[in-house]
Structure 1
């Protein structure tokens, strides 16, 4: 095995804990999304205007589209800046030694080191955000604005209705009706696009105005969730705050520079 291959293996091994954290958080998120359901012991007033909106089957931004906005889109932009765009547009100033003590081999281009570390950070942000978002959803078990329409109560004239009085045959639609707070669309959009905006502002030499599409797109996602009667206004704010908080925490832990320096390309 050549010296370079040994160094590359050692470099990758230094990120083992981060790789494991990304895989485990993504796994926990998928498990909680598919197999866990919120608390079902509540009673609801059928005349409550906050949960008596109409059910809109066709969402403006679907769950799949939101996931694309949160990960493949930022990944594509990172790939463009680090692997395609000219070096004059990207500032390769990521720290030579990360917070975990992983040293960059001298022969490894700084932009590849930056690209690798950024992709790992993005995955970790989305994984942690997914676990926290679903955890809060399941614990809080807040009804969506369209819950009564989802429930389809047996007695439409009853003042109170409990979960076991719902006639909705699609359990997925019914369970989702109790997962309003916080907004998952908002948290994922804020986490992915927030990271991308911060990354571009920090690591590119172009005008900051060129990156404003990130917060604008995030805002569009948030507003669409209220318009589609999927969330209350405070759900999208809570989701956005959660996503940005996770982004800031991971950025400070993994991508903060220890000292001003320009790495050799």
Structure 2
């Protein structure tokens, strides 16, 4: 297997070199189905093992030199594209996303991903704290809550900084994002739902019940709160995806 881990670092990429982590990523992708689109292929540390899955593979990278080098070693079923993933058009048919995301672009890339259609699963390597927050470990962020009705987020494992070259200043986190087959909220209501989550997260009050009572005085949520064990100390970050969806329905 030929890979490249040295060279210019201006694109902010920390190249994955740990074979066990690479195998874990490929295994997760192997549990999905359909064509694969890799985000930031670099020297092919993931690209070449992914080829063993025998599925159509498109590797996208912004570095023309690495694109030229990778094109020399990939098989006929792999297409290596020189492009910025933030602007690269994605397939209009079901596909799977995978990538070791540049840490400084994680938020922008995640936003591009969740706003994109047609992909079914994403296997992503990001900063450890970002992976934890997106998966709702220790409490969900507003971004996670805003997208929960349509996607499920899961934390797979922590990846030590020693698994990368150059070594970053923080550990990484391997996570998955899966598009829900049955969304918890109709997609046509997404703007209203996301505005609702923003209002609850940023509203004034000591807990969810107080915030909702102030923002939606006519909403009847007492029985919802009792059934879900929501008290005056429950914060927006403590709610689950299903609880958010039901609370949105209650508040109209």
Give the TM-score taking structure 2 as reference length. 0.21
Larger fraction in helix: 1
Larger fraction in strand: 2
Higher relative contact order (CA closer than 8 Å, sequence separation 6+)? 1
Give the TM-score taking structure 1 as reference length. 0.20
